[in-house]
C-alpha cells in the first residue's frame, strides 16, 4: 500500500539554526499538509498546499516557516531560525481529493537544543 | 474557534469487552469525520471515516455520527490489548479545510 514517507526520523538542531523536514506524499495525491504535535498535546495544523501554492495556514505558521514542492515528488517544511518551542513531532499528510481521508507519514521528531 | 472535544481518559476495559469512545464538535457545518489511532511516539493511523448520519461498521469497529447532536463515537468490539492506544477524533469543518483534532482518548485494554 502506498505510504507517505518522511525524512529524517529524528533531527537534533541547535537553537537558531535552520532545519528542513522532507516528505514524499503518495504519488496521486493532490493535497498536502504539515501538522505538528508537541509532546503530550494535540495534533495541530500548520499549513496546507494545493496546486503548487499554500491554500491555508495557521497562526503557528509565521514568517519563520516556509514550504516548498521543489519537484514532482518532494514536499518540504523549512524552519528558518529554530526556537526551543519548535521541538515537536512534525507530521506530513496527503490526500487524493477533497473530503477524502488524510494519510500521515511516520513523522520527524525535531529536538531543539 | 472550531473545537473538537474528547474525554482524555484513560478508559480502561477488560479484554473482550466493548470500548466506547466519544467526541463532540463545535462547527455545525462539518462534513467529514475521522477516527485515528495513535500509538505512543507514532503517527496517527486512520481507523474509520464517516460522512453521513448513522452507523458505519468495519470489522470490530463501528463509527456513529449524529450531526444534529454534533456527536461522533467509535465502538470497538472484542477489545484486544493491542487496541491500547490513544484514539483521535478529527473533523473537517468544510470541504477543503484541514483536520481539526481532539486531544484524544487514551484506551487501555486489560488482559
Report pLDDT for A73. Answer: 85
Measured between CA atoms, how close is B84 to chain A, in angstroms? Answer: 17
Mean pLDDT of chain A, nearest integer: 94
Q: Tell me how far apart the alpha carbons of residues B77 and A59 are, in angstroms, rounded to a whole number.
A: 39
Report pLDDT for A97. Answer: 82
User: Which of A33, A99, A106 has the CB atom closest to B95's CB atom?
Assistant: A99
Q: Tell me how far apart the alpha carbons of residues A12 and A5 are, in angstroms, rounded to a whole number.
A: 19
Find where cell 504539515 sits. Answer: A34
Report pLDDT for B95. Answer: 61
First to last CA, chain A: 37
* pLDDT 10s digits, A33-45: 999 999 999 999 9
| Cell numbers placing B47 | 481507523
Below-50 pLDDT ranges, chain B: none
Whether residue A8 is preceded by a cis peptide bond, meaning omega within 30 degrees of 0, is yes
A2 pLDDT more than 80: no
* pLDDT 10s digits, A32-81: 999 999 999 999 999 999 988 999 999 999 999 999 998 878 999 999 99
At A1 the three-state DSSP class reads coil
**Long-range residue pairs from B56-60, CB within 8 A, at least 24 positions apart, any chain:** none
| Cell numbers placing A12 | 537534533
Find where cell 448513522 sits. Answer: B54
Residues of A in CB contact (< 8 Å) with B are: 31, 33, 35, 41-45, 48, 50, 55-56, 89, 91, 93, 98-99, 101-107
At B82 the three-state DSSP class reads helix
Report pLDDT for B96. Answer: 67
> What is the number of other CB atoms lying within 10 angstroms of the CB of residue B4?
25
Amino acid at each position: 500500500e502506498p505510504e507517505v514517507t518522511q525524512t529524517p526520523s529524528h533531527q537534533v538542531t541547535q537553537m537558531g539554526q535552520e532545519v528542513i523536514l522532507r516528505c514524499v506524499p503518495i504519488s496521486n495525491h493532490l493535497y498536502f499538509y504539515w501538522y505538528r504535535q508537541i509532546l503530550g498535546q494535540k495534533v495541530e495544523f500548520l499549513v496546507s498546499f494545493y496546486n503548487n501554492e499554500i491554500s491555508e495556514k495557521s497562526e503557528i505558521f509565521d514568517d519563520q516557516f516556509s514550504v516548498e514542492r521543489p519537484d514532482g515528488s518532494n514536499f518540504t517544511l523549512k524552519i528558518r531560525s529554530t526556537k526551543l518551542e519548535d521541538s515537536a513531532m512534525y507530521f506530513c499528510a496527503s490526500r487524493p481529493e477533497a473530503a477524502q481521508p488524510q494519510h500521515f507519514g511516520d513523522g520527524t521528531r525535531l529536538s531543539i537544543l | 474557534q472550531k473545537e473538537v472535544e474528547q474525554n482524555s481518559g484513560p478508559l480502561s476495559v477488560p479484554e473482550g469487552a466493548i470500548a466506547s469512545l466519544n467526541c463532540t464538535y463545535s462547527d455545525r457545518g462539518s462534513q467529514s469525520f475521522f477516527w485515528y489511532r495513535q500509538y505512543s511516539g507514532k503517527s496517527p493511523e486512520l481507523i474509520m471515516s464517516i460522512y453521513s448520519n448513522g452507523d458505519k461498521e468495519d470489522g470490530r469497529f463501528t463509527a456513529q455520527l449524529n450531526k444534529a447532536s454534533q456527536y461522533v463515537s467509535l465502538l470497538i468490539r472484542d477489545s484486544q490489548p493491542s487496541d491500547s492506544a490513544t484514539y483521535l477524533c478529527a473533523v473537517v469543518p468544510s470541504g477543503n479545510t484541514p483536520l481539526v483534532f481532539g486531544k484524544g482518548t487514551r484506551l487501555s485494554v486489560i488482559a
